[in-house]
Structure formats: structure tokens, C-alpha cells
Structure 1
Amino acid sequence: MSLSAIEKIIYQRTGLTFDAHRTTVLKDKVARHMAVLDLDSVGDYYKYLCTDQAVFNALVDELTINESYFFREPAHLDLLCHAMVPMFAHEKKIKRFSILSAGCATGEEPCSIAMALEQTHGSSFLSTVRIMGLDIDNTALLTARSGIYGKWKLRQLSCELKSLYFKHISKKKYAIRPDILEKIEYHRTNLVKGPLPEIIGTVDVIFYRNVSIYFDESTRAKVLMHLERALNPGGFLVLGSAETLSHDTGTLCLVEINGCFVYQKKSDKSCSHEGMGPVESARHLRPGFRKREKPRVPWCTTGIHGHFSNKGNLSDIATGKKGKLRLGVHESLGKTNGKTDDLPPKGIDEKFLKNSEMTYKKALALARQKQFDAALSLLSTIVETKEDTRDDFMEKIFILRAGILMQQGDGDGAKKLCRHLIGQNIIYSPAYLLLGMIEGMENNPLKSLSRLRETTYIQPDNWLAHFLMFQAFRNLGREKEASRQATIVVRLLEKQNLVHHGLDYFPLSFSRKQILELCRQHALLTT
């Protein structure tokens, strides 16, 4: 009997899927279990899995990666404390809050939630909050209920927080403060089978971070349905940066709060275009809270110039009508051989100017040949002649221009153009991706990671963003996080229907095959 039968039963019961890398991990785990049980054949082990729940649970426990730590992705905790809780209190007049950590592993996330709320709103506020953690892994839940953690789990905490919330009980072990531990309810739950246990009831916020990466599309949809049902109208679903949801789903719509993307459950008022529901009211509570919308702003129509007088219209910047800037950044980029940028460079057939799509393709080819001035001049002709005013096509024009500016060393100019693109369309992921690349080139790894995370919130299956995050974490010496990103890259690159990352032009030192091999080597660190 092959491993495929074991993979099938695990998938049927838990939703866990197996790519080439995870199949290798499964093979290793099965071999270890067979040795412990003194079994010679996979067939005999399979019979144990089918009939003995304890054996099955033990295998699942080893296949789920419970790598977590306190105050992971702290921006989400900040949003909970400073935006979501005030919104619920102000708009919905809620006096008691319920928060669920779905896939809580060893409990670092729910404990972090309790600590952050106490730090922000005081210890008395915790009496108004119900915090719960769910996980399928019994071993992980035992650790969570014990409240004892290794030093590495506390690596993100300041000395002040460590001394306030933890007691050093041995050389490498710390015990969390008892009143925080007692605040958390833990329940063993299979998120795939659903529905959630009745004891959970309905909740206001669900943290579901770095869990769905184990599931295929149909299983993700099933889990999401169970979570939706448990979420109160107007409540929030918070995803990790490696999640695979990228569009409005069912009764959930994507909103942005201060640079982070979360989902909100629709109600009569929230996530709608009429009235002032929780999303709108949150704008008044805290700046930067925006609904997921793709604004349809004319890019190059006559008479639009000056409409965005405070920050400048992208079309004006592109054509040099605001202070004679060339796409807002580089005064000489549009010039070739002393000619003005209104004219194409010599030797380029004028037929390319008659069709903007063909002109774009020619400009892209020139960029790949490192004929940057010629490429920039061609792109300018598209904007000047206003041959194609489709928003999505013009976004391609401007992001290509920004990529060329980056290659010419004009990082500030490229960033300025990317910010204008985001101003026109807040969910345009290539602009965030390019900003992350530029920050990386300028040796700003933390800023780069921030932009790349924003990219994966909008387009979670963007393999290039995950690969750049892998590189950034390696440069920072954060090997565990680098390894997780490497695992995601392997999973994405092994797909047959690979999703495009959004940049038609980007120079990369490695081929896809080399990237895959490099990430496979580092992905093994997670086993």
C-alpha cells in the first residue's frame, strides 16, 4: 500500500493537503510511527489509523507546524485594541466582547490578545472580554493550558512585558501570569468538519492566521463558511499574511485599516455603499480605515487636470503638466538624444504609436533590453495621445514606468509613482510589491517586509512577494520565518495554474527552477 491512502484519510478527516514537500514530511513521520508501533508494512499502519483515534491524532499532531510566538504580527493586535474595540463600543454599544483564535496552536495568540487588551484598556477591561482558542492538535492544547513556554517564544517581547507577564521558572522556561492564563478558554476542534462547538456561540472578532495554508481551495471555503456563521454581523475576520483569501467572499468583504487588510461580515449597514455602518464610522474613530473598493477615476480624459489639486492627478504627472515633472519624478527620463519626450526615439516604427497595446509591448521589450530612455519615451506617447484610458491598462503603463525608474536608480521617483497608483486604487498589489522591492534594494528590510505583507494581504498567492519576504527574513537572521515563507513559495511554484505576480518587468537573478530549489532547501527547516 502506498502513502496515497494515508494522505486521503488525513484529507477526509482534517482537510490537510500534501504537496511534494509535505509528502516527504509525511513519509518520514509515518516511518517513525511504524518503528514505535513495531509495524513492518504501511498497510498495517493504515489499519491502525482507521481504527485507533489516538494513533491518528498523534500523526496529525506531528504534521501541523505549531511555530508561533507572542505578539506575532503586532499590527493586528494594535488594530484590535485601537480600532475594532472602540468601533464596537461606539457604534454597536457593545459592553461585552468575544474574540476567537481559530487554530491557536500552543496559545501564544490568545494570550497575546489578552495582554494587548490589558495594556491598552486596563486590567478591568478584561472582565468584559471573552477570549477563546481552538485547535485540532491535542499536544499543542496541553502546552497552551499549561502556560509554560520556552525563551524563544518570548523573543518579540520587551523586557518590561516579560517581567510583567511571565515568571522565569527554569533556565529556559517561563510561566505566564495565572490570571492571563485563566482568562483563555481552550477547546479541541476540527475546523474542517464544523460547525464550531455550541459553547463558542457567536463572536465579534476571529483571528484565523497562518492556518489555511494547509488546506486546498474547497477545504478553505468549508472552513470559512463555519467561521462566517460564528461571526456576528459587523464583526471582523483577521487573516495572516500567508493566507489564501483574496476577494470578497460570501457575507465577508475586505476592508483596510491603517495599512492592514481584514474581512468584515456584512450587515444591513456595514460594507455597504449607503448609510454609515461600522466601516464608515470607524473612519471617524481612526484615520486610514477604508473599504475595499476599486475607484474608477479617469486617468487621461480632457478636463480632469487639476481635479486632485492637493496631491496631483496621475495623468498630469505622467504628461508633465504639474511642474514639468515626467511621471512625477525624473526630469530627464523622457528625453532621448536631445529630443523632447513628446517624440518617439529614432528608429522606432511609427506604427507602434497607432495602437497602445502594441506600443506597450514594444516599450516592455526595450526595457528588457535595457534601452530605458527609449522605453520611457514610448510609454509617454500612450499617455500623451490618450489612446487608451482603461484604468487597468494605464496601471500597467505606470507600474512599468516605476519599474524602469527603479532600475535607473531613481528609487524616490519610483516610490512616488507607486504611491500615486495606490492613491488611485488601494488594492493594486503590484504597487505594494514594487515598493517592497525598492525598500529591499535600499537596505530597509523592515520597511520592505511591511510592503510585501501588504502585497500578500491583497494577493495571498503572489509567489514573488513571498520569495522576497523569504530573502528579507534570511538577511535579518530570522530563519524560522524565512523557512515558512520558503515553504509557501514551494507550494505556490509547484502549482500548475501559477498566479501572475503583477509585474511584467522585473529583473531577478534566479530562474524559477533555481528559486524552487533554493526554497526547497530552506523549507526543510520547518519539519
Structure 2
Amino acid sequence: MQNRDGGELGPLKELILRTCGFTFEQGRERSLAEGVAARMAERGVDSHSAYHALVARDREELNALVELLTVNETYFFREPDHLNLVAGLLLGEIMAAGEARPVKILSAGCSTGEEAYSIAMMLRERWGAESERLFTVTGVDIDSGAVAAALRGVYGRGSFRGTGAEQLQRHFDPVGQGEYRVREEIRKLVRFEVVNLLNPFYPQAMQLSDVILYRNVSIYFPQEVQRRIFSNLAGLLNGGGYLVVGATETIHHDIGVLSLVQRNALFCYRKEPLQFRFVERREARRNGPPVTRSAPGAVPRSPHSREGVRPQPGEGKQKAAWDPGETKALFDTALELACQGKADEPLELLETVLSRHPGFAKALTLKASLLVNAQHLEEAAGLCQGLVARDPLCLEGYLMLGVIARHLGDEEEGLKRFREALYLAPGCWLAQFYSAEILAGRKDLKRARSGYETALRLLEKGEFREGALFPLSFNAGQFQAICRHKLSQLKE
């Protein structure tokens, strides 16, 4: 079908690009023209301008048009190398961290559900009935018709091109002529939602994912939309989580937001674990020796503390029994190992340090940060609550309590803790950034924009380098890119 004037579809193309991210270049305009003609006939609309006005005001009509335009080309166990990588090495690595929560897997652009169900089947094969306790799988797609088909879980022969006879028998029940339904124990592992990936306000089920499959979806988006959605998805990942794209899409997403890593001869993206480093704050004393300047808002310690060690009852006896220099050396080694991304070894060293000096503030905060990073959230929360009870000026304690609250989905508590951190240190970029994340999720766009702008300004000035708390595996350019991206979204 050809447009009579060659330009009537222009406004519709712009609307669909703006709201859904789809582009219709390189021969795909024909599918748009045919889809629009079908919907115009269905709705009794006789001009492209009138139909554009209808789509612009009627979200259901836009959804109906999108259903005609999306290409739901998928089948079970498609590109099995990537699926085996996820179900084997990647999930094994994440589970080895010993986190006491289900591992979350997201299929972004899940179409009619074959990819999400394929992962669930592989998990069931490896873990049996325990998979229901150990994992959650979520599939999302913009096409509500495709999501409805996924929820039904009934498939024809075309969906089984990559399925062996044994898998078909094990995971499906015949329900009609050439049709099969996914068995209930698999369907219980998976949930589906209608989600527009271009909308940055994602539902709770997508938050804090450990592995995201985003395969063969971005090929339908222009480059700017690809970058935007990839950055949005990266923001959903837990530290140490993975984002897997299709083999032909890998290089296009190497934009500095996530680390490109090789696993089993395949490439995927990893979000480096967020770890925290705590540097000493000293109260300047009149006529005292020179001290390192802290970042604006850094909190001074008690003038009675020394090298981060808060006096404790019976401390004189401890000092006689232990060499303070040796204890400090143990702490420095623990910090160095933590900077290298290790967890067990520094925690063991910190236990020794704290057995000698239970009030060693820097050791307590480093231990808490390692526990947060390892997702031992309850233990970390107890330690952080003790920190702020012992020292109401402990910036690190409030920050980590905010991070823990976000991990647990309690945004109200998280925002409260980040505000407490900002009360102590308005120049703390991390508190500004996470506060902005929560505010953006609440659609408090003005204050979110202000938070991102402040965090970006602090990062660009390098004010995190002296006296501030920052992630051990911190990449300033990465966080600056995220802030700029978030700001560009909020302007639209």
C-alpha cells in the first residue's frame, strides 16, 4: 500500500517513535501503512489526520495499532547457548553469593512468553520443586495481545522449532490439534505484565533483577532509543547482575553503562557490585597538625576518637594485649581486598579487628558495606542501626540504611534515610542520586531533576574524591552518563 502523498504517515510515525520507540525505516513503512489501513477500516475513520488524532487521545487504540505492528517471532529454547549460560554459570555465580532471597530473572520484550517459559523449564530441570522457592521469572512486553497469549500458555507447532521430543513431553500437555499447554508447575514460576520499555517508570516486579534477557528486541529501535532503554534496564539490575542481549546486538550496547564481560565464550553485560569505601573524617583543631580536607558536609568525628577507634570500656586492657599498629595493618589489608572485589577474606579480617577493638568505626562501616554488597541485608541493617545509635552523626550508617531499604522495596524508608544523610552532608552525591531515583519513580519530576543535577555537578567537580563515601569499584564517568540520561528523560 502506498500513501497518496507519501507524507500522510509522518505524524503517526513520530507519535509511535515518541511513545513506543519503534521506527519504520528500511522497508518497514509498508507494515505501518497496512496496519493503519486495517485499524482505520475497523474504526470507520476516513483520513490519516483523523486517525492520528484518535490514536493521540485514545491509549487503547494506540495499543491495538501496536499489536498489529510488533513482530512476535519467537520460539522455545531460541539461541540455546545464551539460555544455558544464564541457567548455568550466571545463576550459579549469583547464587554462590549466598543471598537469602529468590533470584530474579527478567525477560524484557518477552513477546508471547516462550523465552520466559524456556528459562523456567531449565530451572525446573536443574532444581526441581525447589525452583519455586529459589527463583522468580518475569516477562514483559508492550503488546497486550502477546502478553495475553503468554498468560494462556497454549502454543502451536511453530513455537516448538527448538524443542526436543523429551522436553515437549516433560513440560507440556496436549490440549488440541497440534497445540500444547505449558504445565502448571512451570507457569507458577513465571509472571507476565504489559510494559512499555520506553517508559522509565517500571513496575515493582522488574526492580532489582539479577539477570535480564533483552534479546532480539532492540533491533527495532533507532540508536538513541536503544541507548535509552538499555540504560533504563541497567538501572534495574542488582550489583553483580547480568544483562544478556542477542549476539548481533552486543556491540551496539557497549556505551559505558555496564561492563562488557566474556563468559563461556559468549559476551554479556555485568553491573559491577556496588561497594562502599569509607575514608577518615577529622575534626580540625586549632593550632593542630595539618589534616586532609573533607568534602563539603563531611561529618567530623569526636575529638576523643583516634584513627577511627571510639573509646570503649576496658579499652586500656585491649591496648595492652594488642598492638594498635598491627590492628590497623589488618584493617588496611581488609580494605585493599574489598577494593579488589573480594568479600569473604576481608570479612574474616574485620572480625579479627573488631574482636580487638569493637568500637573501630571504620571497620564497622566497612563490614556493613560488604554485607550490603553481599545482600545479607538483615545483618547489615542491624549493624547500621547500631552505628547510627552509637554515633548519630554517622553518615555511612544512614546511607547504607537507605540502600538496604531500596533493596527491600521500602522507598519511604529509603528516602527518609537519604534525607538524613543529606542533612549531615549536602555534598554527598550518592544520597543525592538515590533520592532522585526514588523521586523519579514517584513522578516527583521537579525534585528528581534537581537531585540528578546536583549529583552530576558533584561528580563532574570530583568532590567525591576527598573525604567522601564512594563505591570501591566506582566509575565516575558511568554515573555521570546515568545522571545525564535520567535528566534527558525528565525533560521529555
So what's the TM-score if we normalise by structure 2?
0.53
> Which one-letter code corresponds to 1:275 in the other structure?
Q
1:72 is matched with which residue: 71, 74, 78? 78
Alignment correspondent of 1:85 = 91
Matched, 1:127 2:156: no
Amino acid at match of 2:210: D
Q: 1:273 to 1:31 in 2, by over 3 A?
A: farther
* 1:105 partnered with 2:111: yes
Partner of residue 49 from structure 1, selected from 55, 59, 62: 55
What is the CA-CA distance between 1:210 and the residue it aligns to? Answer: 0.8
1:21 matches 2:27? yes
- The answer to whether the 8 Å contact 1:213/1:244 transfers is no
Distance 1:126 1:77 in 2: 19
Note the C-alpha offset of 1:244: 5.7
CA RMSD between the two structures = 2.2
CA-to-aligned-CA distance 1:74-105 (integer Å, 9 cap, x gap): 11121122211221122454552010011111
Give the 5 Å matches for 1:202-213: 202-213=208-219
Structure 2 counterpart SS, 1:20: coil
| Residue segments in structure 2 that go unaligned for 5+ positions in a row | 1-6, 277-336, 344-492
Report the counterpart of residue 238 of structure 1 in structure 2: 244
Q: Retained in 2: the 8 A contact 1:89–1:95?
A: no
Of 179-188 and 256-265, deviating more is 179-188
Q: Secondary structure at the match of 2:73?
A: coil
Distance 1:124 1:215, change over 3 A: same
Deviation of 1:255 (Å): 0.8
Match of 2:102 in 1: 96
The CA deviation at 1:118 is 1.2
Using the alignment, how far apart are the partners of 1:258 and 1:94 within structure 2? 27
**Among residues 8, 16, 21, which one is paired with 2:14 in the alignment?**
8
Residue 189 of structure 1 corresponds to which residue in structure 2? Answer: 195
Candidates 239, 264, 273, aligned match of 1:258: 264
How many angstroms apart in 2 are the aligned matches of 1:210 and 1:20? 17
- Answer yes or no: is 1:275 the counterpart of 2:323: no
Q: Distance in 1 between matches of 2:238 and 2:25?
A: 35
Amino acid at match of 1:22: R
In the TM superposition, what is the alpha-carbon distance from 1:165 to its structure 2 partner? 0.8
1:176-222, Cα deviation, whole Å (9 max, x unpaired): 10121122111111110113113432110000011111111111111
CA distance in 1, matches of 2:100, 2:84: 19
Superposition pairs of residues 98-177 of structure 1, within 5 angstroms: 98-177=104-183
Mapped contact 1:195–1:226 kept (Cα < 8 A): no
Aligned counterpart for 2:67 among listed residues 54, 57, 61: 61
Q: Residues 339-354 of structure 1: matches in 2 within 5 Å?
A: none
Letter in 1 for 2:196: N
Matching residue's letter, 1:118: R
TM-score of the superposition, structure 1-length normalised?
Answer: 0.50
2:45 and 2:51 in contact (8 A); partners too: yes
CA distance in 1, matches of 2:90, 2:232: 22
Task: Give the Cα–Cα distance (whole angstroms) in 1 for the partners of residues 101 and 197 of structure 2.
Answer: 28
User: What is the deviation of 1:232?
Assistant: 0.4
Of 217, 221, 233, 1:215 maps to 221
3-state SS of the aligned residue for 2:96? helix
Aligned residue pairs: how many?
277
Alpha carbons 2:214, 2:244 under 8 Å: kept: yes
- Shift, 1:138, TM fit: 0.4
Which deviations, in whole Å up to 9, do the C-alpha atoms of 1:94-151 show, x marking residues without a partner?
A: 5520100111111111100100111122231332101101111000000000011111
CA distance in 2, matches of 1:194, 1:91: 29
1: CA distance between counterparts of 2:46 and 2:254?
49
State the 1:250 CA deviation: 3.7
Q: Provide the C-alpha distance between the structure 1 equivalents of 2:60 and 2:200, rounded to a whole number of angstroms.
A: 20
The one-letter amino acid paired with 1:145 is L
> d(CA) in 2 for partners of 1:247 and 1:144?
28
Check whether the contact 2:227–2:253 (CA below 8 A) recurs between aligned residues.
Answer: no
SS of equivalent to 2:247:
coil
**Residues 232-264 of structure 1: CA deviation (Å, up to 9, x unaligned):** 011000101232644643441111111211100
How big is the shift at 1:34? 1.6
* Structure 1 gaps, min length 5: 279-527
Q: RCO higher in 1 or 2 (8 Å CA, sep ≥ 6)?
A: 2
User: What is the Cα deviation at residue 277 of structure 1?
Assistant: 5.5
Distance 2:115 2:125 in 1: 15
| 1:30 aligned to which of 30, 36, 40 | 36
Alpha-carbon distance between aligned partners in 1 of 2:199 and 2:214, rounded to the nearest angstrom: 16
Tell me the secondary structure at the aligned position of residue 248 of structure 2. Answer: coil
Residues 50 and 248 of structure 1: is their aligned pair in 2 closer, same or farther, counting only changes over 3 Å?
A: closer
CA contact (8 A) 1:209 1:238 kept: yes
**Matched residues, percent identical?**
35
Q: Determine helix, strand or coil for the equivalent of 2:28.
A: helix
